[in-house]
Chains A and B, each alone.
Chain A
């Protein structure tokens, strides 16, 4: 990558954005990070510019993308009403796309999510040519917003040659992330997780450094425009396997409760009913389609990412568990009684 490249990263202070900015800066790019909160990562070089702002602010985006070679759009957020979700994800994507086109930005990389896909069919595999969930309006607002943003950007690509590349990371894990990822299940507390189903299916985990590698490749690779790439690593334990490892190595009572989707749906409807009786604002009826998709029982095909982006995700289980899990755990000191039963294996000589 030529060191003179100017790159703007919207949402670059998060779990994936922060190491991406680091990687781009390490390669000599001139990086501007735009985030709603002014939270600078300590390891970034001082040349990285941090701007407090919103990807939906047209004037700001227009100014920042002027003269930029590439833009990453990876904003996150949450809201209650669909209008707010739309504003955060879809309208800001339209704004950034407009500004990129007007300023002649050579590549826009949109970081979407596998939530945009429908992954509720067990035994099937979804490849990267399949579009987003055709019934996204029946899904959660987050999944719907991601799907609509993707559709909007691909439509701009088709009609106006917007140089967009879409990347859909799976369950991203690694340093800076968190153990209680919602991809594993619904965390009732820090230690208790209710499974999306029985928890026996392989889950599309991906290490954050592998996502960063794919995002950097997406900047460089020719012929990637107008394409979407799924990112799931080659180590894909099931939720049960992940928890067994977590319990053993942490020496803590992490618990995984497999729970049928029907039961989960009934409970969700019950909660919805209570809120409805209490006249809570912004309520939407629980989507069973969304729940099924959350179970991630459809396998992800990532062959296009591997072929076109030259992406080679980690396939070493030792490295996977080290970065996905052990890095979050406190070492168990020698003499701790938890080591007596051989329940934990991370003993150190602290």
Chain B
């Protein structure tokens, strides 16, 4: 009788907005079956289960873990609840995939990382830092791994993000509650990439500008210029929150070549030295990258058209990064390449966020006191 492997039984803790992305990603993995979900709001859980054809529904993670023989759990609840949920799941024999952030403070992240290490669990535990799996960034990472750039010496990340709530004057969201929250909300994406390429952040220096007083009384800084000293190199980030133009780039400067990932358009380019004289070299670089980027652009467009015709959402770069991240997690669980967004990595990302906030708000607070009347008061 031929051996038939059973699909991995997976459960979701939380059935909110992000759970649909996870469920969609799992549909592409025939070896994984979404077997159970839990949510304290039973009605929401049941609607989700019906939508994704999930056989079992629970109202607590304890009940789900006790009632279903799960081999993996996705933690998809609000970030403030992550630490407790991860602790609960670590006590069970299952792989653990946590939606970012791992926890809301670096101290909690370090504690969870330590708990996981001390548990001696052979199950993998990872965090959905999906920007590590963004296709254009993956291309750059593969070039780095293939030694095309030599040692990565410096990374420049640029992120210009429109904020619908800010424009609409809806300042009730958590990210507007404290001046540093916007970094915890938006910066983990580029910082996860920087930490992955250069190691932990050892020192941060930040300048903030574009300050405004929100209707909730909190300060909000629209522009953050960050310089970072990391274990294996240096980095700069520029964040513009509430921008009208959405853009996001990562520029990786290596010892021997440079690569750029345009995360918004999902294309990547590589400039490396050839055997030719500089003028020919420059011509080759321009033309080869033009071809490379045109191919990627055409590929992305084709994928969009195909998914639109087939009515299958998820052709955009963000959705693909989600799918790639989840696929990489399950591949690692099956003995494939190590999953990059480990608990250690997630901890380093949170430490980087805190270093940025701390380095900025020292000066920002002082500026706040000095020039508070200069800030626009947003109604």
Contacts and interface: CB of A to CB of B under 8 A. Distances in A.
Nearest to A247: B147
Nearest to A335: B199
A257 B232 contact: no
B145 interface: yes
Given A252-B150, A337-B152, A343 B145 contact: yes
Interface in A300-348: 330, 332-333, 335-338, 340-341, 343-344
Interface stretch (B42-50, B178-186, B271-279, B282-290): B271-279
B253 to A, nearest CB: 14
B210 to A, nearest CB: 34
A338 B145 contact: yes
A257 B145 contact: no
Given A191-B256, A253-B150, A337 B274 contact: no
Contacts of B152: 336-337
A253 B272 contact: yes
B254 to A, nearest CB: 9
Contacts of A332: 151
B109 interface: no
Given A189-B273, A192-B275, A344 B232 contact: no
A343 B256 contact: no
Given A251-B151, A253-B256, A337-B197, A192 B274 contact: yes
B29 interface: no
A277 interface: no
A89 B149 CA distance: 42
A170 B249 CA distance: 50
A330 B151 contact: yes
Interface in A192-225: 192, 194
B275 A194 contact: yes
B144 A191 contact: no
Contacts of B256: 191, 252-253
Quick one: which of A257, A333, A344 has the most chain B CB within 10 A? Answer: A333
Contacts of A340: 145, 337
B231 interface: yes
Contacts of B199: 333, 335
A255 B275 contact: yes
A338 B144 contact: yes
A341 B151 contact: no
A130 interface: no
Contact of B146 (A192, A335, A336, A341): A341
A278 interface: no
Contacts of A250: 147, 150
Contact of B231 (A252, A253, A333): A333
Q: At the interface, is chain A mostly helix, strand, loop or mixed? A: loop
Interface residues of B, number: 25
Given A251-B151, A252-B255, A252-B256, A337 B145 contact: yes
Given A253-B147, A253-B257, A341-B146, A333 B273 contact: no
A344 B231 contact: no
B147 A343 contact: yes
A343 to B, nearest CB: 5
Contacts of B277: 188
B148 interface: yes
Interface in B100-140: none
Contact of A333 (B144, B197, B232, B255): B232
Interface in A155-210: 188-192, 194
Interface in B49-75: none
B141 interface: yes
Contacts of A255: 275
Nearest to B277: A188
Contact of A188 (B196, B276, B337): B276
A335 B144 CA distance: 13
Interface in B159-200: 196-197, 199
Interface in A219-236: none
A344 to B, nearest CB: 7
A246 to B, nearest CB: 11
Given A253-B256, A336-B232, A337-B152, A188 B146 contact: no
Interface of A: 188-192, 194, 247, 250-253, 255, 257, 330, 332-333, 335-338, 340-341, 343-344
Interface of B: 141, 144-152, 196-197, 199, 231-232, 255-257, 272-277, 337
13 contacts: A188-B275, A189-B273, A192-B273, A247-B147, A253-B147, A255-B275, A257-B275, A333-B232, A335-B199, A337-B196, A338-B144, A340-B145, A343-B145
